[in-house]
Structure 1
Amino acid sequence: MAGRRRLSGSSAAVACLLLASLTACGGHPPADTARRQVQQLLDLRAAAVLHHDPAAYAATGARAPYAALKAVPFDAWSYRVTALRRGAGTATADAELRYRVTGYDKAPVTVGRTLTLSTTADGKWYVTSDRPARKSAQQLWDQGPVTVVRGAHSIVLGAGQSDASLRGYAGLADRAVPAVSRAWGTDWSRRVVVLVPGSLDRMAALLGAPAADYRGIAAVTTGQTGGGDRGPADRIIVNPDAYGVLGPLGKQVVLTHETTHVATRAHTDAATPLWLSEGYADWVGYRGAGRTPEQVAPELQRAVSGGRVPTALPADGDFGFAGDAARLARAYEGGWLACRMIAAHWGEDRLEAFYRAVGAHGERAGAVEGALREVLGTTLEEFTDRWREYLRAQLG
């Protein structure tokens, strides 16, 4: 037939390669084109989040999780596709989600997400689901609509919680921030982010850990140790099951303790033993509360009065949440009494300076010993002996 000729096998292959940037020989877009299309789709989805545009978000596919996260103030939200796996009219995208909460995060929070997608009849992609990537923790909006309560020094995000409950947390956080600044100083953000899920199981899902690890733990703080003040804000994550059974003082102590971790984060690193970081946070939490050592340290009091005075300061392993609850309590109480002893004998300013000096060392070996010598003028052996005598005096 005039004007047409049959291509040889090699010519057909060349033609296929020449057309690869437009379409695959099998009739489907090539992988790099599909990935680019999916990235563009997710860029539109991210823009819809930032511009509070539910219609634009719905145009990209599934409405979830927009309805759950729309109340959260974001000043950054973006996806970066890291892998795309194709199927017949479907795809699964691995993506890196980066977001910042307005006024709190100085750098983005980065989390892994897995999105499933399908194509329309005209070949356009749309999102069918958006979920945490394998081995990645949930975000609060994965658990339902997020309610936001703002305090003077805090933002409280809750899922499955009433407004009244969240306002209570904001009040506690707003009292904690100035209390921490009075003890530690003001060289920190003086703002906290509090996440309140609906249950222990949901708290564990936010941490990507088994619920059994946090049973009986009222709250934890997540963040990057030694990261300075240019990273994402720490998150105080509450276990409402354990927190709810505390009295007013206990609730305030817990929020102040966790807020202390936020304040001291830039000076806490691999050099800082847990007896110091947890003991200092407890010392700030109980500072001015009028509680006696017997009231604050009942487990250690039982041990000391029974003649079982610890021979050494608590080791990091003693602070394991999934271990012996009594040993965990004694570890916290021992760290608190060590910090209380420093404040009583050397002064509160020296206690703060000691904490900063330990963190400034950068590595564990020699950090405590150096800070004891330089700031407190003592040795680890002398300090430990003094601490053991202090336990006997306060708890015996």
Structure 2
Amino acid sequence: MLPGRRLVRVLPLLLCVLLAGCAVRPADTAERDVRRAVAAWSRTAPAQLSGIPAEDWAYEVASVRRDGVRALVRAELRYRLAGYDAAPAGSARALDLVMDGGSWRVRADRPAPGALPQLWDQGPVSVVRGEHSLVLGGSGAPDLAAIAAEADRAVPAASSAWPKPWAGRVVVLVPGSLERMAELLGGTADAYRGLGAVTTGRVGAGPAPADRVVVNPEGWAELGGAGRRIVLAHEVTHVATRAATTATTPLWLSEGFADWAAYRGGSTTPAQGAPALGRAVRRGEVPGGLPPAEAFAFGGDPDAVARAYEGAWLACRLIADRWGEAALVRLYERAGREPLPVALDGALGVDLPGLTRAWQEALREQLR
């Protein structure tokens, strides 16, 4: 065969190979169809969300793994609760899909391994709307209307203590049991036993995060009317101050400010509101310094945790009484962006040792 003629026969073969490489392969087509099925699923909210004002519901696909007529998708769910979330909430999800009649269909949508569940992953959700609140309850949750009423009282209280811009609305999640609460928060039931509620949400400046106040139904049932008011006002204040709270904000200031806002305007005296710390002071055990971050960790000695919270409240109470409520707010703002010594000097004109001595003197005087 002549060399030239051989070249003529090889070129069409090479061209076919190149064209085949540019065409969409069957595997690519299947993955594209899986992604389309997930996009269609995004437009159909789960039945458990009935009544929940979810918007911008969308899955951002991270990976697709196919095995014949089945597929596993890892994705990040993004959504907002209309009228409440200024920034989207997120949830890592695992979606199971099957080929059904020539089309891919989502068969299961669940939290990805290691990810926290959403309230609706635990079953049907009931919804109660308050004037300033949206309360979502799981099966077996306590009276949602009563919780919404308490939240509606807590929002103005937080706004009065924190006269800075914030949403002025709150989302409250009420799981059906302590164990279900622990599932939502990624902890153990013992870590939250005895608590009335906690607040979730990232800290730092920027768009207000999708905070959630999570009520412990068992702890809530043990509280009286005053206790419920204080607990929700405390947690809602965390929501109000979230954008000003950063990793540099001392825990004694963030927790103390929330308690100060909750007790503010009431008749609770230091002796009434700080029984554990009062017992220690009367034993001659005046704390050597303001409560450190580790003192607020739950799961340890409950009396020690109580002393930390009580001491933080009385520190903020002292600042508001001696330097003024506006100075306390300024300190909170500055402590989120400056070292504490700089914030104290700028907001109060005092250093940390000076504040500590004033606080210790107040403890001896008020708790003796």
Aligned to 1:47: 43
TM-score by length of 2: 0.92
Aligned to 1:321: 298
Aligned amino acid, residue 204 of structure 2:
G
1:387 lines up with 2:359 in the alignment: yes
- The Cα shift of 1:376 comes to 1.1
SS class of match (1:360): coil
> Identity across aligned pairs (percent)?
50
Aligned amino acid, residue 392 of structure 1:
R
Q: Which stretch shows the higher mean deviation, 246-255 or 317-326? A: 317-326
Aligned to 2:155: 177
For the 8 Å contact 1:100–1:232, the answer to whether it is kept is no
Q: How does 1:118-137 map to 2 (within 5 A)?
A: 118-122=98-102, 124-137=103-116
Structural RMSD (CA): 2.2
2-side partners of 1:292 and 1:321: how far apart?
25
1:338 lines up with 2:318 in the alignment: no
Question: Which residue, 80, 88, 98 being the options, matches 1:100?
Answer: 80
SS class of match (2:214): strand
Distance 1:339 1:306, change over 3 A: same
2-side partners of 1:250 and 1:116: how far apart?
44
Q: How does 1:139-178 map to 2 (within 5 A)?
A: 139-161=118-140, 165-178=143-156
Aligned to 2:259: 282
Aligned to 2:20: 18
Aligned to 2:3: none
Q: How does 1:14-93 map to 2 (within 5 A)?
A: 18=20, 21-23=23-25, 29-30=26-27, 32-49=28-45, 66-93=46-73
Aligned amino acid, residue 20 of structure 2:
L
- The Cα shift of 1:35 comes to 2.4
2-side partners of 1:175 and 1:313: how far apart?
31
Aligned amino acid, residue 39 of structure 2:
D
- The Cα shift of 1:223 comes to 1.3
- The Cα shift of 1:304 comes to 0.6
1:310 lines up with 2:282 in the alignment: no
Aligned amino acid, residue 46 of structure 1:
S
Aligned to 1:219: 197
For the 8 Å contact 1:35–1:81, the answer to whether it is kept is no
- The Cα shift of 1:360 comes to 2.8
Q: Per-residue displacement from partner, 1:138-160 (whole Å, max 9, x unpaired)?
A: 10100111111111111111111
Q: How does 1:366-377 map to 2 (within 5 A)?
A: 367-377=339-349
Stretches (4+) displaced over 6 A: none
Q: How does 1:169-318 map to 2 (within 5 A)?
A: 169-228=147-206, 230-318=207-295
Number of matched pairs: 359
Aligned to 1:63: none
Distance 1:17 1:142, change over 3 A: farther
- The Cα shift of 1:191 comes to 0.6
SS class of match (2:172): strand
Aligned amino acid, residue 357 of structure 2:
D
- The Cα shift of 1:127 comes to 1.3
Aligned amino acid, residue 197 of structure 2:
A
2-side partners of 1:223 and 1:390: how far apart?
33
SS class of match (2:135): strand
Q: Per-residue displacement from partner, 1:102-126 (whole Å, max 9, x unpaired)?
A: 011122112100011111253x211
SS class of match (2:336): helix
Question: Which residue, 138, 147, 154 being the options, matches 2:117?
Answer: 138
2-side partners of 1:231 and 1:266: how far apart?
6
SS class of match (1:205): helix
TM-score by length of 1: 0.86
SS class of match (2:96): strand
Q: Which stretch shows the higher mean deviation, 35-44 or 132-141? A: 35-44
For the 8 Å contact 1:104–1:232, the answer to whether it is kept is no
Aligned amino acid, residue 18 of structure 1:
A
For the 8 Å contact 2:133–2:151, the answer to whether it is kept is yes
2-side partners of 1:126 and 1:48: how far apart?
12
- The Cα shift of 1:332 comes to 0.4
For the 8 Å contact 2:182–2:188, the answer to whether it is kept is yes
Q: Per-residue displacement from partner, 1:35-73 (whole Å, max 9, x unpaired)?
A: 221221111111122xxxxxxxxxxxxxxxx22112211
Aligned to 1:62: none
Q: Which runs of 5+ in 2 are unaligned?
A: 1-9
1-side partners of 2:229 and 2:85: how far apart?
24
Aligned amino acid, residue 160 of structure 1:
S
